[in-house]
Each structure stands twice: as structure tokens, then as C-alpha cells.
Amino acid sequence: MLIRKSNFAEHYPWVLASSVVLALAVVWFIFASVGHAEWPSGSSLPGFTFGVIGGLICLFEFLIWPRKKLRSWRIGKVSTWMRAHIWLGILAVPLLVLHTGFRWGGPLSTTLMTLFLLVIASGVWGLILQQFLPEKMLKEVPAETIFSQIDYVSDLMAGEASQLVRSVCNITSDSDDAEKFSDGSHIVVGAVRNTGAIQGRVVVTSSLQESVPDSKPLYDFFNEHIYGFLKNGEMAKSPLQNPPRAHSMFNSLRTKLPPRAHEVVTVLEDLCNQRRQIITQAKIQFWLHSWLWVHLPLSVALIVLMFVHVFVAMKYW
Ligand code: HEM
């Protein structure tokens, strides 16, 4: 969820309400401690109340999971749930710290507090990433593709490029790639183009090139650098991953080829550019989602342990 100056009005009521609750809690806590040598514990009236409110907030926080999975329930807008999730989650931190009376307690309550703080920290980290990664993706990955299709798209690019190079370099072979991607006389090249203000990946069909004499350097360059990079991306550890380096390598390749082969070099350069974007996309998507692998399992553990804590606390009260 984005938190910007422009949409802060939607967050403001949550910030205000949380601040008021927090201020009242702090005042109550301070009044309850006057005349006592120690801070009020979790079993004092204010401590117990903050524990109950904090615990209910944790339960509510967890409910965002079923709410997201069962969108057909339509209990409130997801964006409202998300705002409540963020601000109530943050409010729960001081409330539960007051509940502890600034003590870690035994192993169970220490584990519970550690889990809680890790869930909060991972949530805040995820929220921070959500503030800039989607924008970075829009800017740096105009050729964004469907995440689950990245391997397929990469294979397709490598196959198309291979077919193009073979036809220009007049290599006749019945390799799998050539057959798989051939429709006879055209190949399909996904290129990044501007249409008005919109930039994105468009499909361009390019007629198969006539063979160009003396284009062996193209074939060698393709085999040495391009094919592996298009197919395996970062794993190929290719210098083509670096844009200025790639640019100068393609320029030097052009100088070794007859002008008739230059158009193909441009197509290959474009494909490498798209492959670089796919690498960036995979990285951004990794960072956008990986924190949930911490946030979600730890929040499940938190809820389970919270019930154990309540049970144990009530039993020995
Ligand atoms: C007790 C505290 C918390 C619990 C138990 C909790 C639990 C959860 C759960 C179960 C999910 C759903 C995971 C999924 O979509 O697979 C979630 C999502 C999320 N939480 Fe928390 N959370 C807590 C606090 C926080 C806090 C304090 C923040 C931020 C300040 C936060 C930020 C987020 C964000 C950004 C999402 C992802 C929503 C989305 O974009 O899909 N959480 N949380």
C-alpha cells in the first residue's frame, strides 16, 4: 500500500485515532505507576487492559490473511483493511510494551515478544519496499512480462534469436530450437516501443533475413555471448548484463560485419536489452514478495503462542 502526501487524508483518521488511544494509554499507565516502586505489570488493571487490546489487535491483524484469500466475502474494502492493518499494528507495539511493564518475563513471554517484534519489523520492511519498488518496476521494466512465464519467455527469445542468426549466417541445421520456433518465413520478436505516452513490449514480426555472406563473426558472437545470456540470464554471467559494456560489444561486432547484417545486430541488441529488464523484474518481484515469507509464518506462530500465553497467564493468575 502506498502512503503519499497525496493520499495521506485516507490514513489521517487512523493516525489520529491511534495517537489518541496511545496518549490515553500512556497517561493511564503513568497514573497507575505513581507511588509504586515498579512499573504496573501485565496483571494490573491497565496492564491487563493493554494486553487484551493488543491481543485483539494481533488477532485482527491476522484476519487480513483470510480476508485476502476470500475476496468474495466482501467484508469491507481491502484498502480499508490494509490501512487498519498498518496503523493498528503500529499502535499494538507501544500498547504491548506497556502491557509488559518493560519486562521480558519468562521464556514464553520473551519468545512471544520477540516474535511480535519480528512480525512488526517485517511488516514495516514490506511496507517500505512497497513505497518505491512498484515505481522502479514501471520505470525500469517497460517490457514487464508475466512473472510465472519468465523461463518460457527467455527460452522463446533464445530460440527466436537462434533462428534469426542461423538464417543470416546460412547455417542449416535441424536443431530443436530452429524447428520449435519456426513458422516458415517469419520470426516473432518482442520489442520495446513507445506508443504515445505508453511504453511497452510489442510483438514485431520480422521477415527471415536472407543469408549475408561474411557474417561468421555474428554466429561466433551469438554462440559465445548472446544465446546463453538470453536463455539463462544472470546465471550466464555474461558481460552483456552490463548495458554500457553490451553497447560497446555490439558496436564492435557491427564493425566486423557487412552493413546488411547490422539490422539483425540491432534486433539482437534489443532482445538482450529485454532480457536485462526481465532480470531486473525478477529481482524486484523477489524483494516485493520475499518479506512475506517471514511475516506470514511468524504471524501464524505469534497467534498460536499468544493463545498459549493467555492460557498459561489465566491459569496461574
Ligand atoms: C501483530 C502484528 C501483525 C500480524 C499478526 C500481521 C499479519 C499479517 C498477515 C497474516 C498478512 C497476510 C499475508 C499474506 O498476504 O500472505 C499480512 C500482510 C501484510 N502486513 Fe502484516 N501483520 C502484523 C503487523 C503489520 C504491521 C505493523 C505492518 C506495517 C506497518 C504490516 C504490513 C503488512 C503488509 C504491507 C502486508 C501485505 C499486504 C499486501 O500487500 O498484500 N503488518 N500481515
| Domain match, 294 and 271 both | no
pLDDT at 205: 52
183 with 125, same domain: the answer is no
Which residues, at least 6 apart from 39, have a Cβ–Cβ distance to it below 8 Å? Answer: 29, 33, 101, 102, 103
Q: What is the pLDDT of residues 143-153, one digit of tens each?
A: 888 888 999 99
Examine the domain organization and report whether 281 and 239 are in the same domain.
yes
Asked whether residue 24 falls in the same domain as residue 55, the answer is yes
Model-level pTM? 0.85
Residue with cell 493516525: 15
Q: Write the CA distances from 302 to 61, 313, 316, integer angstroms.
A: 11, 16, 21
pLDDT given for residue 209 in this prediction: 65
Do 93 and 172 share a domain, yes or no? no
222 within 8 A of 216, measured Cβ to Cβ: no
**Same domain as 81, residue 61:** yes
Which protein residue's CA is at the shortest distance from atom 28 of ligand 1? 123
For the range 167-173, what are the long-range contacts, defined as Cβ-Cβ under 8 Å and sequence gap of 24 or more? 167/208, 167/209, 167/210, 167/211, 168/209, 168/210, 168/211, 168/212, 168/215, 168/218, 168/261, 168/264, 169/211, 169/212, 169/215, 169/216, 169/218, 169/219, 170/211, 170/215, 171/219
Own/partner contacts of 233-241, CB < 8 Å, gap of 24 or more, are: 233/154, 233/275, 233/278, 233/279, 233/282, 234/279, 240/272, 240/275, 240/276, 241/276, 241/279
Mutate to test the pocket of ligand 1, among 64, 71, 116 (most ligand atoms within 8 A of CB): 64
Q: Does 109 lie in the same domain as 187?
A: no
Alpha-carbon distance of 179 to 90, in angstroms, equals 58
Protein residue whose Cα sits closest to atom 7 of ligand 1:
62
Of residues 132, 143, 139, the one with CA closest to residue 277:
143
Ligand 1 centroid vs 85 CA: distance in angstroms? Answer: 7
Q: What is the pLDDT of residue 201?
A: 54
Which phi and psi angles does 96 have, rounded to 5°? Answer: -75, -25
Domain range for 194: 147-287
Residue appearing with cell numbers 496511545: 22
* pLDDT recorded at residue 143: 81
Residue 235: CB atoms within 10 A of its CB come to 10
Closest ligand 1 atom to 65 CA: 12
What's the pLDDT score for residue 199? 53
Please identify every stretch of the chain with a pLDDT value under 70, giving residue numbers as ranges.
173-209
Residue nearest to atom 38 of ligand 1 (CA): 82
Q: How far apart are CA 30 and CA 316, in angstroms?
A: 26
Q: Is the CB of 46 under 6 A from ligand 1?
A: no
The answer to whether residues 158 and 202 belong to one domain is: yes
Distance from residue 56's CA to the centre of ligand 1 (Å): 15
What was the pLDDT predicted at 75?
A: 84
Total of domains in the chain: 2
Same domain for 154 and 277?
yes
Ligand 1 in reach of 90 Cβ (< 6 A): yes
Tell me which amino acid residue 48 is.
F
The reported pLDDT for the residue numbered 71 is: 75
Partners of 200 in the β-ladder: 193
Alpha carbon distance 289, 122 (integer Å): 11
DSSP-assigned letters across all residues of 214-264: T-HHHHHHIIIIIHHHHHHGGGG--GGGSHHHHHHHHHHHHHTS-GGGHHH
Look at residue 194 and give its three-state secondary structure: strand
227 and 308 within one domain: no
pLDDT score recorded for residue 111: 98
214 shares its domain with 276: yes
Cα(298)–Cα(213) distance, rounded to whole angstroms? 63
Q: 273 and 157, same structural domain?
A: yes
CA–CA separation, 280 and 276 (whole Å): 6
CA of 127 to the centre of ligand 1 (A): 9
